[in-house]
Structure 1
């Protein structure tokens, strides 16, 4: 009776669950087994080490499958393929990767100094290795020139060092490389790098022929302001920053946004961040700035403090740029880093392509920019003794340059101060006449 009952029970189960279908309870258990719980991994980024060779990645465009070949070799007992990396003795950065499958007369060879590696790629890759036991994910950055295209080479035959047109990437122009790098940065870069790429692209648009054509069309519809044109002519002849002669306030006489463009403000934060430190060292800064640090700390309005710090930073970069162009420039001054966007502007404004050093009229223009910014930092009443030392000039020519900017010199407590009355009144330009020889 027991055996008959068991047979009857199995027949009922088979009738309830047709062939190929399982009970819902068993399916739910299998689904739970397949679901993987999230793992908290510790990410560790490994940087390049001078004594170690960074990871090298090779790929086979010919269709050769290294994993399949490895499985076949292990079954036949030939072992894994032979992999070697060669380094040039005279040029250590040149590497060659050679993969030799066992039992084959073909070697797969790749280099980082020819083919796709020379196409000017600026991309960076990363190789990640996850350790299940320690739950650690090690990420190793890989440069674009560490990715090798492994082309087949028959052993014993000679090959030219020059790559064929089919295997070599098309050579890109400098503009194309810059555009590709910019597009890659916009797609995958950080917010700061994207912002920087857009600013550099905007500056480069000045020399773009298409942009120039669009600009010419827009200029045709612009009405010429004769007063502004006269102001520009005076700006060139006097070597002074852009100004507004009809200004009713000192801060409007020399518009600050025309001296320091808005795109440059974000790169002038060094003094402000240094000011946040308890024991900040301003040893490398000009005397003009060091003498005003205590007054700078007393400013309660953070936006105003940040503004003055940026003006000080711009003064520092102007003075350092002037000294870097001198013959007897010190090593510390030459090592001073000026933000690239600011350095690009200084180079276009103050340097001359056919001259190695700054001409006198460009030096006068640079000094005028410095003096105008000192007026802003001192609320348009500045003692010019310390800035004269920073510019390596005596007080008399510095006073004359302030007067040329429309300033008035006053004396208080045996000290001379430069103030800026409005509206601006410039001294008449004296023209030098050569005496006629009789």
Structure 2
């Protein structure tokens, strides 16, 4: 393939600038201005003088990387993970928690102001702990033929290659301690070259492993896995060539919330940050201001994470979910906890919802917790129900703001906004908002 000389590219790659960033973006990059152009600088923090090398030049902005910190910020931290900077999982371990919180909330608040004209008052960040919080992780598995060894880890930043993980301070300690012995165990399997991925989950009744593999599992392999389970007190589920789930050993997983027990399938969605999940539920219950006479609607309810705590305080709760297996799990969890004032309905909330059964009923309060795509199809229908209070839990600020516009134009006002630090050390922004009928 012919390669052509590009003077602009070479000049950009060699250009060194000396700047002081004024803020941090959600990706952990310092943001500076140089000759009227915005510069995004990886590895730089606000108010510290850095020497940076520009590696990409665009008309309105440039990207650079810090090559020397001339005056470090007091907000600069020493990353505790030896894989930081290579692994693509984290991008803010060098940033203090206070700066992470303030920069994320500022980005959320600025988005609201730009799109709606509202400037939300600074609210407390809902935060549990900065490390050892993640209770679920999927680890890639690749057999390196030349080295004749199994590689297990997370993806490198901007790459499909794996970083072999020997530690991960983001994982809860019980899962982090399994990394090295798990790779050793999997390396001894006869189908080591045909492994897909390993998923670790920390349930409240113990850790579990889901192993995906692409060839028949020999009896000797099953025995090795059973021995691993016995040595580490872990439940194991197998996902073979047809991807169906087989429990090899261990009890059904569950977690506790609001003095309730929620059982789940290893592949079910659960919030990965147990501490923030508990605080988030408490905040939602407080904002809903539930009364014993309230009828409550919970959209995108999953298996009852919010639904069942609400049912303990309200007259009736209707949970609506698009995944049929989660609806069945919610019904099972209601029975398990002795709650008879709750129903779980299976409806697709990403299509027209006007003819769905819940859409014609009366509700005093509404909670919704949609996926990243938001709840565009449901918003106007929620307004038509005229609930007194609406709590919106969001994992995507962009769709939260778009859906909020429907509520604001429908006679609701934004009363409270919180940033949820569900994923510390990363750029993810999760949030929750309270809307009250005017």
Same fold (TM over 0.5): no
TM-score, reference length from structure 1 = 0.24
More strand by share: 2
More helix by share: 1
TM-score, reference length from structure 2 = 0.24
